[in-house]
Amino acid sequence: MEQRTYNQYCATARTLDLVGERWTLLLVRELLTGPKRFGDLQASLRGLGTGLLAARLKHLEREGLAHKITLPPPARTPAYALTEAGEELAPAVLSLARWGLKWAMGERREDETFHPGWALLGLRACFDAEAAAGLRAVYEFRIDDEVFHTRVDDGTIEALHGPAQHPDATITLDQETFLQVAGQRLTLAEAVEGGAASASGDPEALRRLRGLFRLPPQRSRKPPRAAS
User: What string of DSSP letters covers 68-110?
Assistant: EEEPPTTT--EEEEE-HHHHTTHHHHHHHHHHHHHHT--SPPT
Q: Give the model's pLDDT for residue 1.
A: 52
Give how many domains the chain has, as a whole number. 2
Q: What's the pTM value of the predicted model, to 2 decimals?
A: 0.88
CA Rg value for the chain: 19
**Do residues 17 and 83 share a domain?**
yes
Verify that 137 and 72 share a domain, yes or no.
no
Q: How far apart are the C-alpha atoms of 82 and 65, rounded to whole Å?
A: 6
Task: Examine the domain organization and report whether 120 and 82 are in the same domain.
Answer: no
Residues 123 and 188 in one domain: yes
- Are 130 and 201 members of one domain? yes
Cα–Cα distance measured from residue 113 to residue 173, given in angstroms and rounded to the nearest whole number = 18
**Is a pLDDT exceeding 90 seen at residue 119?**
no
User: Within a domain: residue 94?
Assistant: no
Q: How many residues does the chain have?
A: 228
The CA dihedral of 130, 128, 213, 135, to the nearest 10 degrees, is -40
pLDDT at 84 over 90: yes
Which of residues 3 and 18 earns the better pLDDT score?
18
The closest alpha carbon to 190, from 208, 210, 204, belongs to 210
> Is 73 in the same domain as 130?
no
In this structure, is residue 93 part of a structural domain?
no
Question: Domain boundary at 73, 88, 103, which?
Answer: 88
Same-domain status, 129 and 205: yes
- Arithmetic mean of pLDDT, 94-108: 91
In this structure, are 17 and 58 located in the same domain? Answer: yes
Asked, for residue 139, whether it belongs to a domain, the answer is yes
| Assigned domain for 165 exists | yes
**Nearest by Cα to 169 from 145, 197, 129:** 197
Are 31 and 82 contacting, i.e. CB atoms less than 8 angstroms apart? yes
Residue 214 falls inside a structural domain: no
> pLDDT grade, residue 152 (50/70/90)?
very high
**Chain centroid offset of residue 48 CA:** 18
Residues 121 and 80 in one domain: no
Q: Annotate 106-174 with DSSP letters as a single string.
A: -SPPTT----GGGHHHHHHHHB-TTTTTT-EEEEEEEETTEEEEEEEETTEEEEEES--SS-SEEEEE-
> Is 30 part of any domain?
yes
Which residues constitute the domain of residue 65?
Answer: 11-88
Residue 141 in domain: yes
| Per-residue pLDDT, 164 | 94
Residue 105 counted as domain residue: no
59-76 b/e with 16+ CB inside 10 Å = b?
Answer: bbeebebbeeeeeeeeee
For residue 207, name the pLDDT band (cuts at 50, 70, 90). very high
Residue 155: give its domain's CATH number.
3.30.1050.10
Give the whole-angstrom CA distance, residue 35 versus residue 37.
7
Residues 151 and 79 in one domain: no
CATH of the domain at 76: 1.10.10.10
